[in-house]
Amino acid sequence: MNTPPLPATSFSRRLLDWHACHGRHDLPWQNTRDPYRIWLSEIMLQQTQVDTVIRYYQRFLERFADLPTLAAASLDEVLGLWSGLGYYARARNLHRAAQTVMSEHGGVFPQDAETITSLPGIGRSTAAAIAAFAFGQRGAILDGNVKRVLCRHQGIEGYPGEKVVENRLWALAESLLPEDAGAIGAYIQAQMDLGATLCTRTRPACEGCPVGADCVARTTARTDVLPTARPRKSIPRREARLAVILGEHGFLLERRPPSGIWGGLLSLPELPEGNPDDDAGWLARRYGVRVLDHEALEPLEHVFTHFRLGIQPVLFKTQATEHVAEATLTWVSANTLEEAGLPTPVRKILGRLNRR
C-alpha cells in the first residue's frame, strides 16, 4: 500500500520543528562550517554508531587538526589512529582524498557536491551532506537512516539496496527538500536524527514521531517489515591460522597489501595450509627465525560483511635477529602496539598475550 507523496513543506516543516526541540545539537562535529571536520565525521559515521565515532573523531583531530596535516602524514600513522574503527578502506580513501585536495584543488575543499563526489571514498549521499553542512548547498541525502524513514513513511516496499527502489527513494528525497535554502543543513540533520533516535531499526518510538500521523508503516502496523530486509544469503566461513612470532624485539608483523581485507595494516603472518608439523621449518625459510617453542592460543571468530573468519592463533617463541630482509616485515614491541595500525582481531590476540 502506498500513499501519495505529501507536499515538501508539510513533511520538511514538521521535521524541522521537531528537530529544533528534540534533535541532536551538541555532537563534536556540529556547530561548525569547517568542511574538513564535517567530512571526517561523515566518513567515520558510515556504518558506525555515533557513540563509537566520538572518541575516534576527537583523537584523530588531536593529531590531524586540519586537512594539510592529514595529507602530509604517513598512511601508517593514519591507519594507526583508525585501528579498531573498522572498514579500513575509509581511512585509506580519507588520506588519498586529503592529498588530492592539496594537489588538485590548491588545498581548498571543493564546495559543490559533484566535485566532492570525485574525491576518493565519497559517494553521492556523503557529498550532499558535506555540501549542505559546510556550504549550505541544497541537495538530498540517502543514508541508511533516511532510507528507513522514507520507506516506512511512504510504504515503499522492496529492498532499498536494489537499484529500482533506490532510484525511487532518491526522487522522493529530492521532492521533500525544504524550499528555504537556509534550512537545508538543519533538515538533513533532522532526517538523520529521526532515524537514529526514533525511527530505529527495531522498536521504533512511533508515538514521538513528528511525521507519524500519516506514516504508512505505522498506520498499517508494518514497522517491523519496512523497509524490506536484504534477501538472505548464507554467509560462508573461512579458516586461518595466524603466526604470533615472539622474539626479543617484540612481535614480528607483516604489512598487508594496500587493498583487500585489512589493506595496509600490520597483521600476523598467515600460516600455510597443509602440515602443521612443518610450521617451524616454514617460518625458518620464510622469515629467518628459529622456533624454540610453540603453543596454540585461544581461537576467535571475526565477522566481516560477507563472511566469517575463524582464527586459530599459534604462538611461536623464536630466536631471531632484529634485522628483517623484507620491507613488509617489522618487529613491533609490546609497549608500542597501541599506536600500531592493527586489525581488531590481531589487537585482541596480542592484547590477551600482553595481559598474560
Q: Higher model confidence: residue 10 or residue 151?
A: 151
Supply 222's cell numbers: 508494518
For the cut 50, the answer to whether the pLDDT of residue 263 exceeds it is: yes
Q: Is 47 strand, coil or helix?
A: coil
**Distance between CA atoms of residues 128 and 122, nearest Å:** 10
Q: Which residue type occupies 111?
A: Q
Q: Higher model confidence: residue 4 or residue 119?
A: 119
For the cut 50, the answer to whether the pLDDT of residue 236 exceeds it is: yes
**Distance between CA atoms of residues 253 and 225, nearest Å:** 46
CATH code 3.20.20.60 for 8-219:
no
**Distance between CA atoms of residues 320 and 246, nearest Å:** 9
Q: How confident is the model at residue 64 (pLDDT cuts 50, 70, 90)?
A: very high
Torsional class of 12: left (φ above 0), alpha (ψ -120 to 50), beta (otherwise): alpha
- 77 is a catalytic site residue: no
Q: Three-state SS string across 81-119, please? A: HHCCCCCCHHHHHHHHHHHHHHHHCCCCCCCCHHHHHCC
Q: How confident is the model at residue 324 (pLDDT cuts 50, 70, 90)?
A: low
Q: How confident is the model at residue 187 (pLDDT cuts 50, 70, 90)?
A: very high
* Best CATH choice for the domain 237-355 from the list 3.90.79.10, 3.40.50.720, 1.10.645.10, 1.20.200.10: 3.90.79.10
- For the range 326-329, what are the long-range contacts, defined as Cβ-Cβ under 8 Å and sequence gap of 24 or more? 327/255, 328/254, 328/255, 329/252, 329/253, 329/254, 329/255, 329/287
For the cut 80, the answer to whether the pLDDT of residue 47 exceeds it is: yes
Report pLDDT for 81. 93
What is the percent of the chain with per-residue pLDDT over 70, rounded to a whole number? Answer: 95
Maximum average pLDDT range among 95-109, 262-276, 342-356 = 95-109
Closest of 192, 102, 108 to residue 145, by C-alpha: 192
Question: Which H helix or E strand runs over 197?
Answer: helix 184-197
Q: How confident is the model at residue 320 (pLDDT cuts 50, 70, 90)?
A: low
Report pLDDT for 297. 94
Answer whether 116's CB lies under 8 Å from 130's CB: yes
Q: How confident is the model at residue 334 (pLDDT cuts 50, 70, 90)?
A: confident
For the cut 90, the answer to whether the pLDDT of residue 298 exceeds it is: yes
- For the range 196-202, what are the long-range contacts, defined as Cβ-Cβ under 8 Å and sequence gap of 24 or more? 196/24, 196/50, 196/145, 197/22, 197/24, 199/145, 199/148, 199/149, 199/152, 201/148
Report pLDDT for 326. 67
For the cut 70, the answer to whether the pLDDT of residue 6 exceeds it is: no
Report pLDDT for 3. 47
Q: State the average pLDDT for the chain.
A: 92
**Distance between CA atoms of residues 310 and 176, nearest Å:** 46
Q: How confident is the model at residue 339 (pLDDT cuts 50, 70, 90)?
A: confident
For the cut 60, the answer to whether the pLDDT of residue 9 exceeds it is: no
Overall average pLDDT of the 258-284 stretch? 89
Angle (CA) 142 145 147, round 5°: 50
For 47, half-sphere exposure in the C-beta direction (CA atoms, 13 angstrom radius) is 8
Cross-strand pairs, 252 = 245, 331
**Distance between CA atoms of residues 272 and 290, nearest Å:** 17
* Residue tagged active-site, from 42, 157, 174, 301: 42
Overall average pLDDT of the 314-342 stretch? 81
Q: What stretch(es) of the chain map to CATH 3.90.79.10?
A: 237-355
Q: What stretch(es) of the chain map to CATH 1.10.340.30?
A: 8-219
Report pLDDT for 323. 56
For the cut 50, the answer to whether the pLDDT of residue 1 exceeds it is: no
Supply 353's cell numbers: 598475550
Supply 218's cell numbers: 505505522
The count of other CB atoms within 10 Å of the CB of residue 138 is 20
